[in-house]
Structure 1
Protein backbone atom coordinates (compact mmCIF):
# COMPACT_ATOMS: atom_id res chain seq x y z
CA UNK A 1 0.00 0.00 0.00
CA UNK A 2 1.40 3.36 -1.01
CA UNK A 3 1.35 5.97 1.76
CA UNK A 4 1.70 9.71 1.59
CA UNK A 5 4.81 11.41 2.92
CA UNK A 6 2.84 12.73 5.92
CA UNK A 7 1.44 9.27 6.75
CA UNK A 8 4.95 7.84 6.66
CA UNK A 9 6.19 10.65 8.92
CA UNK A 10 3.40 9.92 11.41
CA UNK A 11 4.29 6.21 11.45
CA UNK A 12 7.96 6.96 12.08
CA UNK A 13 7.10 9.37 14.90
CA UNK A 14 4.65 6.96 16.57
CA UNK A 15 7.08 4.06 16.24
CA UNK A 16 9.61 6.11 18.20
CA UNK A 17 7.13 7.31 20.86
CA UNK A 18 3.49 6.21 20.71
CA UNK A 19 2.56 8.43 23.67
CA UNK A 20 2.83 11.65 21.69
CA UNK A 21 -0.46 13.50 21.30
CA UNK A 22 -1.95 14.29 17.89
CA UNK A 23 -1.36 17.96 18.73
CA UNK A 24 2.39 17.37 19.19
CA UNK A 25 2.61 15.21 16.06
CA UNK A 26 0.75 17.86 14.06
CA UNK A 27 3.33 20.47 15.04
CA UNK A 28 6.17 18.11 14.10
CA UNK A 29 4.84 17.41 10.59
CA UNK A 30 3.30 20.80 9.82
CA UNK A 31 -0.39 19.83 9.66
CA UNK A 32 -3.42 20.84 11.71
CA UNK A 33 -4.37 18.68 14.68
CA UNK A 34 -7.62 17.69 12.94
CA UNK A 35 -5.81 16.59 9.75
CA UNK A 36 -3.33 14.62 11.85
CA UNK A 37 -6.09 12.86 13.82
CA UNK A 38 -7.80 11.96 10.54
CA UNK A 39 -4.59 10.47 9.11
CA UNK A 40 -3.92 8.47 12.30
CA UNK A 41 -7.50 7.13 12.31
CA UNK A 42 -7.12 6.09 8.68
CA UNK A 43 -3.87 4.26 9.44
CA UNK A 44 -5.61 2.46 12.34
CA UNK A 45 -8.61 1.49 10.18
CA UNK A 46 -6.31 0.08 7.49
CA UNK A 47 -4.54 -1.95 10.22
CA UNK A 48 -1.21 -0.32 9.40
CA UNK A 49 -1.10 0.87 13.00
CA UNK A 50 -1.85 -2.40 14.74
CA UNK A 51 -1.22 -1.60 18.40
CA UNK A 52 0.31 0.91 20.77
CA UNK A 53 2.75 -0.96 23.00
CA UNK A 54 4.77 -0.20 26.11
CA UNK A 55 8.17 -1.80 26.71
CA UNK A 56 8.63 -2.82 30.35
CA UNK A 57 11.80 -4.08 32.00
CA UNK A 58 10.04 -6.75 34.09
CA UNK A 59 13.24 -7.95 35.78
CA UNK A 60 13.16 -4.73 37.80
CA UNK A 61 9.71 -5.59 39.20
CA UNK A 62 9.74 -8.07 42.09
CA UNK A 63 7.73 -11.20 41.35
CA UNK A 64 7.61 -10.62 37.58
CA UNK A 65 11.04 -11.78 36.45
CA UNK A 66 9.83 -14.78 34.42
CA UNK A 67 11.63 -16.70 31.69
CA UNK A 68 11.64 -16.07 27.95
CA UNK A 69 12.59 -18.72 25.42
CA UNK A 70 13.07 -18.79 21.68
CA UNK A 71 12.08 -22.11 20.18
CA UNK A 72 13.14 -23.18 16.70
CA UNK A 73 10.50 -25.50 15.23
CA UNK A 74 10.83 -27.80 12.23
CA UNK A 75 7.42 -28.62 10.77
CA UNK A 76 5.90 -30.58 7.91
CA UNK A 77 3.84 -28.05 5.93
CA UNK A 78 0.41 -29.18 4.75
CA UNK A 79 -0.60 -29.17 1.12
CA UNK A 80 -2.63 -26.11 0.19
CA UNK A 81 -1.98 -24.15 3.42
CA UNK A 82 1.80 -24.43 3.77
CA UNK A 83 3.02 -23.21 7.15
CA UNK A 84 0.07 -20.93 7.89
CA UNK A 85 -2.17 -23.53 9.56
CA UNK A 86 0.48 -24.82 12.00
CA UNK A 87 1.68 -21.26 12.71
CA UNK A 88 -1.88 -20.28 13.63
CA UNK A 89 -2.26 -23.28 15.94
CA UNK A 90 0.97 -22.31 17.68
CA UNK A 91 0.26 -18.57 18.06
CA UNK A 92 -3.11 -19.29 19.68
CA UNK A 93 -1.39 -20.62 22.84
CA UNK A 94 -1.38 -17.97 25.60
CA UNK A 95 2.32 -18.53 26.35
CA UNK A 96 3.31 -17.61 22.79
CA UNK A 97 4.34 -13.99 22.27
CA UNK A 98 5.62 -14.20 18.66
CA UNK A 99 5.79 -16.62 15.74
CA UNK A 100 7.93 -16.06 12.65
CA UNK A 101 8.40 -18.06 9.44
CA UNK A 102 12.17 -18.35 9.00
CA UNK A 103 14.67 -19.38 6.38
CA UNK A 104 17.36 -21.88 7.33
CA UNK A 105 17.39 -25.20 9.17
CA UNK A 106 14.16 -24.56 11.08
CA UNK A 107 10.85 -23.32 9.70
CA UNK A 108 9.32 -21.37 12.59
CA UNK A 109 10.78 -19.30 15.40
CA UNK A 110 8.50 -19.12 18.43
CA UNK A 111 9.02 -16.75 21.38
CA UNK A 112 7.28 -17.76 24.60
CA UNK A 113 7.19 -16.55 28.18
CA UNK A 114 6.68 -18.52 31.37
CA UNK A 115 7.21 -18.09 35.10
CA UNK A 116 9.88 -20.79 35.30
CA UNK A 117 12.06 -22.94 33.04
CA UNK A 118 9.78 -25.83 33.97
CA UNK A 119 6.81 -23.91 32.53
CA UNK A 120 8.70 -23.58 29.24
CA UNK A 121 9.70 -27.26 29.28
CA UNK A 122 6.11 -28.30 29.99
CA UNK A 123 4.85 -26.12 27.11
CA UNK A 124 7.33 -27.69 24.68
CA UNK A 125 6.71 -31.27 25.77
CA UNK A 126 2.95 -31.18 26.33
CA UNK A 127 1.68 -28.61 23.83
CA UNK A 128 4.15 -27.78 21.07
CA UNK A 129 5.81 -31.15 20.40
CA UNK A 130 2.50 -32.98 20.39
CA UNK A 131 1.16 -31.02 17.41
CA UNK A 132 0.85 -33.30 14.39
CA UNK A 133 3.00 -31.24 11.99
CA UNK A 134 5.84 -30.56 14.45
CA UNK A 135 8.89 -32.67 13.59
CA UNK A 136 11.47 -31.26 16.02
CA UNK A 137 12.25 -28.32 18.30
CA UNK A 138 15.29 -26.60 19.75
CA UNK A 139 14.82 -24.34 22.77
CA UNK A 140 17.03 -21.36 23.63
CA UNK A 141 16.54 -19.59 26.97
CA UNK A 142 17.15 -15.85 27.07
CA UNK A 143 19.61 -15.21 29.88
CA UNK A 144 19.89 -11.43 29.64
CA UNK A 145 18.18 -8.81 27.52
CA UNK A 146 20.49 -6.08 26.23
CA UNK A 147 18.28 -4.50 23.57
CA UNK A 148 14.68 -5.17 22.53
CA UNK A 149 12.67 -3.35 19.84
CA UNK A 150 15.32 -0.65 19.70
CA UNK A 151 15.28 -0.07 23.48
CA UNK A 152 18.57 -0.57 25.33
CA UNK A 153 18.21 -2.16 28.79
CA UNK A 154 20.53 -1.48 31.75
CA UNK A 155 22.43 1.18 29.84
CA UNK A 156 24.36 3.41 32.16
CA UNK A 157 25.99 6.53 30.82
CA UNK A 158 29.62 5.72 31.42
CA UNK A 159 32.36 8.31 31.45
CA UNK A 160 33.56 8.35 27.84
CA UNK A 161 36.51 10.64 28.42
CA UNK A 162 39.88 9.31 27.38
CA UNK A 163 42.18 8.59 30.28
CA UNK A 164 45.30 10.73 30.05
CA UNK A 165 48.26 9.78 32.17
CA UNK A 166 51.60 11.59 32.43
Structure 2
Protein backbone atom coordinates (compact mmCIF):
# COMPACT_ATOMS: atom_id res chain seq x y z
CA UNK A 1 0.00 0.00 0.00
CA UNK A 2 1.13 3.53 -0.71
CA UNK A 3 2.84 4.85 2.49
CA UNK A 4 1.09 8.25 2.35
CA UNK A 5 -2.30 6.56 1.97
CA UNK A 6 -1.47 4.14 4.79
CA UNK A 7 -0.52 7.01 7.08
CA UNK A 8 -3.80 8.81 6.33
CA UNK A 9 -5.87 5.66 6.95
CA UNK A 10 -4.12 4.57 10.14
CA UNK A 11 -2.88 7.79 11.69
CA UNK A 12 -4.19 10.96 13.23
CA UNK A 13 -4.77 13.99 11.02
CA UNK A 14 -1.41 15.45 10.07
CA UNK A 15 -0.24 18.34 7.96
CA UNK A 16 1.70 17.44 4.81
CA UNK A 17 4.85 18.71 6.54
CA UNK A 18 4.23 16.32 9.46
CA UNK A 19 3.54 13.46 7.04
CA UNK A 20 6.82 14.18 5.30
CA UNK A 21 8.70 14.14 8.60
CA UNK A 22 7.17 10.79 9.61
CA UNK A 23 7.82 9.25 6.19
CA UNK A 24 11.24 10.80 5.59
CA UNK A 25 9.93 12.71 2.56
CA UNK A 26 9.84 16.39 1.74
CA UNK A 27 6.58 18.29 2.05
CA UNK A 28 6.60 18.82 -1.73
CA UNK A 29 6.97 15.07 -2.29
CA UNK A 30 4.02 14.36 0.01
CA UNK A 31 1.94 17.03 -1.76
CA UNK A 32 2.84 15.48 -5.12
CA UNK A 33 1.97 11.97 -3.90
CA UNK A 34 -1.38 13.16 -2.52
CA UNK A 35 -2.17 14.87 -5.82
CA UNK A 36 -1.24 11.70 -7.71
CA UNK A 37 -3.58 9.66 -5.47
CA UNK A 38 -6.39 12.16 -6.14
CA UNK A 39 -5.73 12.15 -9.89
CA UNK A 40 -5.79 8.32 -9.99
CA UNK A 41 -9.10 8.26 -8.11
CA UNK A 42 -7.60 6.35 -5.17
CA UNK A 43 -7.97 9.12 -2.59
CA UNK A 44 -11.50 10.49 -2.73
CA UNK A 45 -11.20 12.49 0.48
CA UNK A 46 -10.89 11.96 4.18
CA UNK A 47 -12.72 13.02 7.25
CA UNK A 48 -12.84 12.12 10.93
CA UNK A 49 -14.98 9.19 12.02
CA UNK A 50 -17.72 10.51 14.25
CA UNK A 51 -19.74 8.63 16.81
CA UNK A 52 -23.22 8.60 15.22
CA UNK A 53 -24.80 9.10 18.66
CA UNK A 54 -22.97 12.41 19.11
CA UNK A 55 -22.63 13.89 15.64
CA UNK A 56 -24.07 17.24 16.71
CA UNK A 57 -27.47 16.94 15.08
CA UNK A 58 -30.62 14.93 15.56
CA UNK A 59 -30.89 12.53 12.68
CA UNK A 60 -32.15 9.16 11.57
CA UNK A 61 -29.95 6.80 9.61
CA UNK A 62 -31.44 4.11 7.41
CA UNK A 63 -30.34 1.42 5.00
CA UNK A 64 -32.57 0.67 2.06
CA UNK A 65 -32.54 -2.56 0.09
CA UNK A 66 -33.42 -1.78 -3.52
CA UNK A 67 -34.43 -4.29 -6.18
CA UNK A 68 -33.95 -2.99 -9.71
CA UNK A 69 -34.30 -4.15 -13.29
CA UNK A 70 -30.98 -3.69 -15.08
CA UNK A 71 -31.04 -1.47 -18.16
CA UNK A 72 -30.10 -2.68 -21.61
CA UNK A 73 -26.52 -1.61 -22.36
CA UNK A 74 -26.24 -0.02 -18.90
CA UNK A 75 -26.86 -2.86 -16.52
CA UNK A 76 -27.15 -1.80 -12.92
CA UNK A 77 -24.62 1.03 -13.24
CA UNK A 78 -26.84 3.75 -14.71
CA UNK A 79 -29.57 3.26 -12.12
CA UNK A 80 -27.03 3.08 -9.29
CA UNK A 81 -25.39 6.27 -10.60
CA UNK A 82 -28.77 8.06 -10.65
CA UNK A 83 -29.56 6.98 -7.10
CA UNK A 84 -26.07 7.95 -5.91
CA UNK A 85 -26.63 11.53 -7.13
CA UNK A 86 -29.29 12.25 -4.49
CA UNK A 87 -27.86 14.48 -1.75
CA UNK A 88 -29.46 12.39 0.98
CA UNK A 89 -27.56 9.24 -0.15
CA UNK A 90 -24.38 8.71 1.86
CA UNK A 91 -23.42 5.38 0.28
CA UNK A 92 -24.69 3.10 -2.47
CA UNK A 93 -23.43 -0.44 -3.10
CA UNK A 94 -24.18 -3.10 -5.72
CA UNK A 95 -24.93 -6.30 -3.80
CA UNK A 96 -25.29 -10.00 -4.44
CA UNK A 97 -28.23 -11.88 -2.98
CA UNK A 98 -31.87 -11.00 -2.42
CA UNK A 99 -31.60 -7.35 -3.51
CA UNK A 100 -29.45 -5.40 -5.95
CA UNK A 101 -28.46 -2.14 -4.24
CA UNK A 102 -27.86 -1.20 -0.63
CA UNK A 103 -28.42 2.53 -0.08
CA UNK A 104 -27.43 4.31 3.15
CA UNK A 105 -29.14 7.62 3.93
CA UNK A 106 -29.40 10.14 6.75
CA UNK A 107 -32.35 12.47 7.40
CA UNK A 108 -33.77 14.61 10.20
CA UNK A 109 -36.75 12.33 10.88
CA UNK A 110 -38.45 9.05 10.03
CA UNK A 111 -40.92 11.02 7.91
CA UNK A 112 -38.10 12.53 5.84
CA UNK A 113 -36.65 9.06 5.21
CA UNK A 114 -40.10 7.84 4.15
CA UNK A 115 -40.57 10.87 1.90
CA UNK A 116 -37.21 10.26 0.26
CA UNK A 117 -38.14 6.63 -0.42
CA UNK A 118 -41.56 7.27 -1.96
CA UNK A 119 -40.87 10.63 -3.65
CA UNK A 120 -37.35 10.13 -4.94
CA UNK A 121 -36.09 6.56 -4.79
CA UNK A 122 -39.23 4.68 -5.78
CA UNK A 123 -39.79 7.01 -8.75
CA UNK A 124 -36.44 6.20 -10.40
CA UNK A 125 -37.10 4.21 -13.58
CA UNK A 126 -36.03 0.61 -13.07
CA UNK A 127 -36.61 0.51 -9.30
CA UNK A 128 -38.95 -2.42 -8.60
CA UNK A 129 -39.12 -2.43 -4.80
CA UNK A 130 -37.51 -1.13 -1.65
CA UNK A 131 -37.20 -2.29 1.96
CA UNK A 132 -36.17 0.32 4.52
CA UNK A 133 -34.37 -0.54 7.76
CA UNK A 134 -33.76 2.12 10.40
CA UNK A 135 -30.49 2.04 12.32
CA UNK A 136 -31.32 1.96 16.02
CA UNK A 137 -27.87 1.90 17.59
CA UNK A 138 -24.28 1.82 16.37
CA UNK A 139 -21.70 -0.47 17.95
CA UNK A 140 -18.89 0.05 15.46
CA UNK A 141 -18.37 2.80 12.89
CA UNK A 142 -15.86 2.49 10.05
CA UNK A 143 -13.65 0.12 12.05
CA UNK A 144 -13.95 2.02 15.33
CA UNK A 145 -15.73 0.51 18.33
CA UNK A 146 -18.15 2.92 19.94
CA UNK A 147 -17.36 2.96 23.63
CA UNK A 148 -20.14 3.74 26.04
CA UNK A 149 -18.37 4.57 29.33
CA UNK A 150 -21.55 4.30 31.42
CA UNK A 151 -21.97 0.67 30.29
CA UNK A 152 -18.33 -0.39 30.64
CA UNK A 153 -18.31 0.15 34.43
CA UNK A 154 -21.76 -1.39 34.92
CA UNK A 155 -20.96 -4.80 33.45
CA UNK A 156 -18.82 -7.47 35.08
CA UNK A 157 -15.60 -8.48 33.32
CA UNK A 158 -16.67 -12.14 33.26
CA UNK A 159 -20.22 -13.43 33.17
CA UNK A 160 -21.09 -16.19 35.64
TM range (shorter): 0.7 to 0.9
- Partners of 1:162 and 1:86 lie apart in 2 by 49
Computing the radius of gyration from Cα coordinates, the structure with the larger value is 1
* Aligned match for 1:78, one of 61, 64, 71: 71
Q: Give the equivalent residue in structure 2 for 1:11.
A: 5
Asked whether the equivalents of residues 65 and 130 of structure 2 are also in contact (C-alpha less than 8 Å), the reply is: yes
Q: Give how far 1:28 is off.
A: 2.2
Structure 2 residue runs without a partner (length 5+): none
Residue of 44, 58, 67 corresponding to 1:65:
58
2:112 paired with 1:119:
yes
TM-score, normalised to structure 2, is: 0.84
What RMSD in Å do the two structures reach over aligned CA positions? 2.5
Q: Which residue of 1 aligns with 2:87?
A: 94
CA contact (8 A) 2:51 2:141 kept: no
More contact order relative to length (CA 8 Å, sep ≥ 6): 2
1:53 equivalent to 2:44? Answer no
Checking the alignment, whether the CA contact within 8 Å between 2:61 and 2:104 is kept in structure 1 is yes
Shift of 1:15: 1.4
TM-score using structure 1 length: 0.82
Q: 1:162 and 1:54, CA in 2 relative to 1: closer, same or farther beyond 3 A? A: closer
SS where residue 50 of structure 1 aligns? coil
Q: Which runs of 5+ in 1 are unaligned?
A: none
CA contact (8 A) 1:18 1:53 kept: no
Aligned length: 156
Aligned with residue 30 of structure 1, among 4, 24, 40: 24
The verdict on how the C-alpha distance between 1:102 and 1:154 changes in structure 2, with shifts beyond 3 A counting, is same
**Is the 8 Å Cα contact of residues 66 and 130 (structure 2) preserved in structure 1?**
yes
Task: Kindly indicate whether the alpha-carbon contact (under 8 Å) linking 2:61 and 2:106 is maintained by their aligned counterparts in 1.
Answer: yes
Question: Are the counterparts in 2 of residues 74 and 136 from structure 1 also a CA contact under 8 Å?
Answer: yes
